[in-house]
Amino acid sequence: MPWTMEDYPASFQSLDKVIRKKALEISNKMVQEGYEEGRAIPIAINQAKEWKKNATEKEMEDFHSHGSVTPSKKSSSARPELMDHAQHVVKHDESWAVQTEKAKRASEVKETKQEAIDRAKEISSKKGTAVVIHRTDGTIQDVVKPK
C-alpha cells in the first residue's frame, strides 16, 4: 500500500512538507518498481532534498498544489516508453551501472559488475526484456534473452 501525506514512515516526520511530499512520491515509485522499503526511503529523502534545491518557487508551488504521492496504476515506469527496452550493464566510473536502453541516466549503480548483472536480470524479468552486458570498453559481451 503506498504511503500518503497522512500515513508515512517515521523518518519523513521532520521533513519540510514539500520535501516530504516529493520523497513520498519517489519512495512509492521505487517500491512499486521493486526496491525494498529500507533502501527506497533514504534514497527518496536525498533525492527530494536535491530536487528542492534545484526547483524554482513555481515548480515547488505547482507540485505542492497538484503533485501526487501515489504512483500511477497504468504504468510501472516513470517513462512508459522505455518499458519494452533492454537493461544494459555498463561501466560507470569505478563501478557498474544498470541502465535502460535509450534512458538518459542509469537507474542504479553497483560496486561490482556481477551485482549490476544480477539487478539488471531482476528488473528485466519483471519487464520481460533482455539484459545486454557490456565490457569495460563498451562493446557487447553477452545478451541474456527474457525467459
Tens-digit pLDDT profile for residues 78-102:
555 556 788 999 999 899 999 988 8
Distance between CA 42 and CA 87 in Å, rounded?
A: 24
Q: What angle do CA 118, 77, 146 make, to 5 degrees?
A: 40
Q: What is the predicted pLDDT for the residue at 111?
A: 94
Q: Which residue has the higher pLDDT, 1 or 128?
A: 128
Q: CA 82, CA 84: separation in Å to the nearest integer?
A: 6
Place of cell 521532520: 14
- Rounded Cα gap, residues 27 and 9, in angstroms: 10
The rounded percent of the chain whose pLDDT value lies above 70 is 88
What share of residues in the chain are helix, strand, coil (percent, to 5)? 45, 15, 40
Instruction: Give the residue, 126 or 136, on which the prediction is more confident.
Output: 136
For strand 131-134 and strand 87-92, is the pairing parallel, antiparallel, or unpaired? parallel
Q: What are the backbone dihedrals phi and psi of residue 97, each rounded to the nearest 5 degrees, phi first?
A: -115, 150
Query: Is residue 70's pLDDT more than 80?
Result: no
Cell of 104: 538518459
CA angle 48, 52, 54 (to 5 degrees): 120
Q: What is the pLDDT of residue 102?
A: 81
Cα separation, 98 vs 17, whole angstroms: 32
